[in-house]
Chains A and B, each alone.
Chain A
Amino acid sequence: MRGIERLTPYITSALALIPLAAIIALTSLITYHGLGALSWRFISSSILRGGVYEAVVGTLLLFSGATAIAAPLGVLAAVYLVEYAPRSWLTELVERAVENLAGVPSILYGLFGFTLFSKLLGFGISLLSGWLTLACMMLPIIVRSSQEALRMVPRSIREASLALGASKWTTITRCILPAAAPGIATGVILGVCRVAGETAAILLTSCFYTMRGLPRSPLDPVLSLTYYLYILIVAKAGDTPLEVIFAISLLLFLLVVALNSTALILRFRYRGVKRW
């Protein structure tokens, strides 16, 4: 025991370096191998000509649609939980549901979306099924971070507004939501970050292997960067130039890291600056 205790500081610090080493190794591997082939031409030319244009547009379409569904729902749900609901069995039930949703593996969302949206509701393998499935996945992230942001808004703001004669709804829309906006935005960006890199859920609901061109309506299938990368590696590893695969990985990595860093910076700035 003595010996171990004397060594603990060194062992602990050495082990703590591993996550840092992992992120540095990951970043440099992906950048080093991907940088060669990544160019504006690569992003803006069609898949048929060796680019990834359809996949980039597909990814943007998928996550913007899902956000348009999940963000209002999630924020309003958080408003109910923080502003309206008394501590009751109903609030408890909603919070349990949100916590459990956050823990459901993404492949199960994919399976659920496939059975309900694609088959039983008849939307097929389509952009619309993908939107709905991804919206379900984003919802818990947005609800939880919005709840946290709303709870940070001090009582005095609510009381001041109510004392001036504003109704509760006016207080919420004019005072509380603006004050909580940075926190809510952070949550939405984190949600986007999760679904922009998601593969398993859209694999079953919205993408086709043979898809060419852009979807013409929400009921058409769509390609995304993640799905295209998956297909190139798993199904066609032999007959795709490796530079293409590496370049797509780098593009996806940059997209996700940019989104995540935006969220981190937003949170960091407002945590430091706002003093009520």
Chain B
Amino acid sequence: MSSPSFFQRLLKMREGGEALTLASALTSILIFASILIFTIHEGSWMLLRPQYLLGARWQPEYNRYGLLLLLYGSIIVTAGALAISTPIGVASAIFISEVAPRWIREVMEAAVETLAAIPSIIYGFIAYFFLAPWIAAVFHLPLGRTALTASLILSIMTLPTIISISSEAISSVPMAYREASLALGADRWQTLWRVVLPAARLGIFASILLAFGRAIGETIAVLMASGCVAAIPNPPWNLLSPVYPMTAAIAIGMGEAEFRGLHYYALYTLALILLCISALVNNTARLLIRKAPRGEVRI
């Protein structure tokens, strides 16, 4: 066990520097633990009083907090986004790590990092002023702010995650796999299709999970693109109707909710669900990345 050694070190700490840096390192634990504790504490109040939560309506003014509607909104928007961004992202990752010459690769990496750095309000702005009118015109809708609009803008926002993590996974497939396949007479694309991609599948799957985590936690862009109407579309898979994702409800509702009133607790319940989903997804993705084969092959 290493725990005694830590306390021994603490006692023997002669330099102030070590104590200072240790205290800073502990801050991260403190912050994460407080986020966890606050969200669980405030979020479980209404979970323990489920009579508010199970209705079929989300109407804070009548104390109806049917949060399944909002969960549905988040999930349909996220699923739509991933359905678009997964093929594009994985193809781009293949292109970056296996096909493109060096200079194209560098241009694409810079483009991907810039996409990742653009703030979500800018994506929301694009969705609101350019994407939504276009969707409205194409599908003859009165208002263009729909689940599809939110999915489209989210798909661009999740591309950087899928591309960077997948291309890392593909590049770290051992060279020996490729050489063995090529030596057996397979061409470059057969090797890629039948050897490299299967070997990188854990990392690619992890990238999709991380993109899911990013998409379901995205707030401002989704708020501006999705229309924010708390209703299940008819039929439920109809992407052309407005939805109300959880994050948007938190951002809009918290400003007017009374501190520690019913609405506040309902929004914290949404936050707790969101925190559970994103922690689950992120930690699973990290485990997958650790399990993936990389570097030299041991024979």
Interface residues of A (CB under 8 A from B): 5, 8-9, 11-13, 15-16, 18-20, 22-23, 26, 29-30, 72-74, 76-77, 79-81, 83-90, 93-94, 97-101, 103-112, 114-116, 119, 136, 139-140, 143, 167-169, 172-173, 190, 193-194, 196-200, 203-204, 226, 229-230, 233-234, 242, 245, 249, 252-253, 256-257, 259-261, 264
B118 touches A197 (CB 8 A): yes
User: For the side of the interface on B, what is the size category?
Assistant: 35 or more
B35 touches A80 (CB 8 A): no
A11 touches B2 (CB 8 A): no
Given contacts A8-B189, A111-B39, whether A101 and B31 have CB atoms under 8 Å apart is yes
B254 touches A200 (CB 8 A): no
Pick from A19, A199, A259: contact of B120, CB below 8 A. A199
Contacts of B113 in A (CB 8 A): 260, 264
- B234 contacts partner chain A, Cβ-Cβ < 8 Å: no
B96 touches A107 (CB 8 A): no
- B213 contacts partner chain A, Cβ-Cβ < 8 Å: yes
- Encoded as 1 (CB less than 8 Å from any A CB) or 0, chain B from 111 to 146 comes to 111110111111011101110000000000000000
A112 touches B122 (CB 8 A): no
Name which residue of chain B comes closest to A102, CB basis. B282
A84 touches B22 (CB 8 A): yes
Q: How far is A112 from B250 in the complex, measured between Cα atoms in Å? A: 12
* Stretch of B49-57, B62-70, B219-227 with 4 or more beta carbons under 8 angstroms from chain A: B219-227
Pick from B29, B42, B108: contact of A20, CB below 8 A. B108
**Closest Cβ of chain A: how far from B31's Cβ, in Å?**
5
B275 touches A108 (CB 8 A): yes
A86 touches B2 (CB 8 A): yes
- B299 contacts partner chain A, Cβ-Cβ < 8 Å: no
Pick from B16, B25, B216, B220: contact of A200, CB below 8 A. B220
Given contacts A100-B283, A104-B275, whether A86 and B5 have CB atoms under 8 Å apart is yes
Contacts of A18 in B (CB 8 A): 88, 92, 159
Contacts of B282 in A (CB 8 A): 99-100, 103
B96 touches A233 (CB 8 A): no
Contacts of B255 in A (CB 8 A): 203-204
B28 touches A101 (CB 8 A): yes
Q: How far is A168 from B20 in the complex, measured between Cα atoms in Å? A: 13
Contacts of A81 in B (CB 8 A): 25
Q: How far is A173 from B16 in the complex, measured between Cα atoms in Å? A: 13
A105 touches B278 (CB 8 A): yes
Given contacts A29-B126, A80-B18, A94-B29, whether A88 and B2 have CB atoms under 8 Å apart is yes
A116 touches B95 (CB 8 A): no
Given contacts A103-B282, A199-B120, A203-B251, whether A233 and B217 have CB atoms under 8 Å apart is no
Could you say which of B21, B124, B255 has the most chain A C-beta atoms within 10 Å of its C-beta?
B21
A114 touches B223 (CB 8 A): no
- B27 contacts partner chain A, Cβ-Cβ < 8 Å: yes
Contacts of A104 in B (CB 8 A): 32, 35, 217, 275, 278
Name which residue of chain B comes closest to A227, CB basis. B121
- B103 contacts partner chain A, Cβ-Cβ < 8 Å: no
Contacts of B217 in A (CB 8 A): 104-108
